[in-house]
Amino acid sequence: METRPGTRAGPGAQRGVLLARTAEAFLVLPWRQRARVGAKSPATPRPPAVPPLPPRGSAPPRAPEPCRGPRACRRADRETPGGGRRGMATRARGFSLLRGRLGRGPVRVPGVAERAWRGFGSSGRRHEAIIISGTDMAKQIQREIQQGVESWIALGNRRPHLSIILVGDNPASHTYVRNKIKAASAVGICSELITKPRNVSQEELLDITDQLNMDPRVSGILVQLPLPDHVDERTICNGIAPEKDVDGFHIINIGRLCLDQHSLIPATASAVWEIIKRTGIETFGKNVVVAGRSKNVGMPIAMLLHTDGEHERPGGDATVTIAHRYTPREQLKAHTQLADIIIVAAE
C-alpha cells in the first residue's frame, strides 16, 4: 500500500506556507531594516563596520572567551560585544526547523556568526491511501512466463519439471498445492505430487529429497509447509539442493539474499517486490513499514526493500521498520502514520 500526495491543500497547509514565506522574508533582511518593514521613509545609513575606539581611561573590551560546549557557543553567538543580545540566533534556529519541514537545504542567516543549521525531513504527511490489486498483474506475469517457457523449449531444452512433497492431511496445505499445480500447468511446467502420511519420518523425507536432487529431469523441488511437529522444517529445507529450492528457504539462498547476491527468493517476497517495480512505486529514501517478521515472508521483504540498489542484487534503498506481535500499539500507529509504504505480511 502506498500513500501519495493529494491534489488540494487545506486551509491549515495554506497558512503554513504563508507563515513560512513571511518568516523567510523577515529573516533575509538586514538586522536594522527589519524594524522598518513596510515603512516608506528612506533607510538610515548602516553603522560603520569598525566600532569606534573606547574613551580614554576606560577598560579595554574583553576578548571573547572560547566556547565551553554547545550551550556556551549558542550564548556567545547571541551576545554582542557591548553586552546586548542579538536574538537572531534563536529565530534562525526556529526558522531552520521550519525550512527543514518544507524540505529545503541548510540555512545561513545574515547577522549570525557564520552558523549554518541543517534542516530535517519528514515523510509523515497525510495522503490518500491506494490499495494495489495484483489480479491483472498476475495474468500479465503468467503470460510472460508461458512465453519464456515455450522459448526455452524451442531452444532444445527439457520442459521444466516441479516436484511437490505434501505431508499429512492439512486442508489448507492441500488447497495450496492444488493451486500451485494448476499455476504450473497454465504456463507449461510439468509437475508431480508426492504425498506422505503425517507419521512419516524425517529420514524418509531426506531420502526423498536426495533422490530428487540427483534426478536430472527435476528442475525444482518444493516441500509444502507446515510439517508435523516431529519433523524439523529447517533440516528438510536444507536437504534440498540450493539450485532446485524454488521456495528459497535453503540456508544458502537466505544467506545470499542477506548479502545482496543473486539467489532464489521466497515467492511472497518476490511477488511484493515485483508489484512494487511494475507499479512504479518509488522506494528510494522512503519510509516502509513491514508488519510481520517471519523468516519466509516478512524478513525477505524487508531485506529486498532496504538493501543498496547498486549491489549485485538490487534493492529498494528504503528505510524499513519491521513490526511484529510484540510491537506496542502506540508505536505501530506512529510508525504507520510516518510510512510512505505499508506492507502487511502477518495474519
Would 23 be classed as within a structural domain?
no
276, 321: one domain: yes
Same-domain check for residues 283 and 216: no
Cβ 103 vs Cβ 125: under 8 Å: no
Q: Which domain holds residue 322?
A: 250-347
Indicate if 326 and 230 belong to the same structural domain: no
Whether residues 262 and 179 share a domain: the answer is no
Annotated catalytic residue within 245, 247, 260, 340 = 247
Residue 20 lies in a domain: no
Q: What percent of the chain has pLDDT over 90?
A: 53
Whether residue 227 is found in the same domain as residue 270: no
Using alpha carbons, select from 238, 243, 252, 249 the residue that is nearest to residue 160.
243
Give the sheet arrangement for strand 128-130, strand by strand: 128-130, 2-4, 341-344, 287-291, 319-323
Report if residue 177 sits inside a domain.
yes
Domain boundary among the residues 75, 98, 122 is at 122
Q: What cell numbers appear for 324 in the block?
A: 511484529
Q: For the chain, how many residues are written?
A: 347
Is residue 47 one of the residues assigned to a domain? no
Q: Are residues 165 and 226 in the same domain?
A: yes
184 and 288, same domain (yes or no): no
| Cα atoms in the 13 Å half-sphere on the side-chain side of 40 | 0
Residue 247 among the catalytic residues: yes
- Do 152 and 234 lie in one domain? The reply is yes
Q: Do 272 and 220 fall within a single domain?
A: no
State the residue for C-alpha cell 493451486.
179
d(C-alpha 117, C-alpha 153), whole Å: 63
Same domain, 283 and 209: no
- pTM for the model stands at 0.61
Instruction: Return the ∠ at Cα 131 (arms to 174 and 343), rounded to 5°.
Output: 65
Q: Is-catalytic flag, 244? A: no
Q: How far apart are CA 201 and CA 78, in angstroms?
A: 78
Query: Catalytic residue among 224, 260, 286, 340, which?
Result: 224
Contact 169, 211 (CB under 8 A): no
Does residue 128 have a pLDDT over 80? Answer: no
Q: Which residue has the cell 576606560?
A: 58
Q: Which helix (H) or strand (E) holds 294?
A: none
Q: Is 251 helix (H, G, I), strand (E, B) or coil?
A: helix
DSSP 257-280: HHTT---PPPHHHHHHHHHHHHHT
CATH of the domain at 261: 3.40.50.720
Over residues 108-130, mean pLDDT: 48
Domain termination residue (choose one: 231, 247, 263) = 247
45 within some domain = no
Summary mean pLDDT of the chain = 76
Q: What's the structural domain count of the chain?
A: 3
Closest CA to 52 of 81, 32, 76: 81
Confidence label for 141 from pLDDT (cuts 50, 70 and 90): very high
Q: What are the cell numbers at 259?
A: 548479502
Q: Which of 14, 40, 140, 180 is catalytic?
A: 180
By DSSP bridging, strand 319-323 and strand 287-291 are parallel
Measured between its terminal Cα atoms, the distance across the chain in Å is: 16
> How high is the pLDDT of residue 345?
84
Residue 19 lies in a domain: no
Per-residue pLDDT tens digits for 288-345: 999 999 988 999 999 999 988 888 878 899 999 999 999 999 999 999 999 999 999 8
Answer yes or no: is pLDDT of 144 > 70.
yes
| Same domain membership, residue 143 and residue 93 | no
Query: Is 140 among the residues known to form the active site?
Result: no
Domain end, chosen from 122, 151, 185, is at 122
Is residue 170 assigned to a domain? yes
DSSP string of 207-224, one letter each residue:
HHHHHHHH-TT--EEEEP
Q: CA of 105: how far to CAs of 29, 100, 306, in Å?
A: 19, 7, 25
Dmax of the chain from CA atoms? 107
Cell numbers describing residue 283: 522506494
The better pLDDT of the pair 42, 329 is held by 329
Residues 6+ positions from 17 with CB-CB distance below 8 Å = 9
pLDDT the model gives residue 85:
44
Q: Are the C-beta atoms of residues 317 and 283 closer than 8 Å to each other?
A: yes
CATH number at residue 237: 3.40.50.10860
Statement to judge: residues 236 and 266 lie in one domain: no
Asked whether residue 52 is domain-assigned, the answer is: no
Out of 44-53, 63-72, 96-105, 330-339, pick the least confident. Answer: 96-105
The dihedral formed by the CA atoms of 303, 304, 308 and 309, expressed in degrees to the nearest 10: 180
Q: Summarize pLDDT for 256-289 with one digit per residue, the tens.
A: 999 988 899 999 999 999 999 998 889 999 999 9
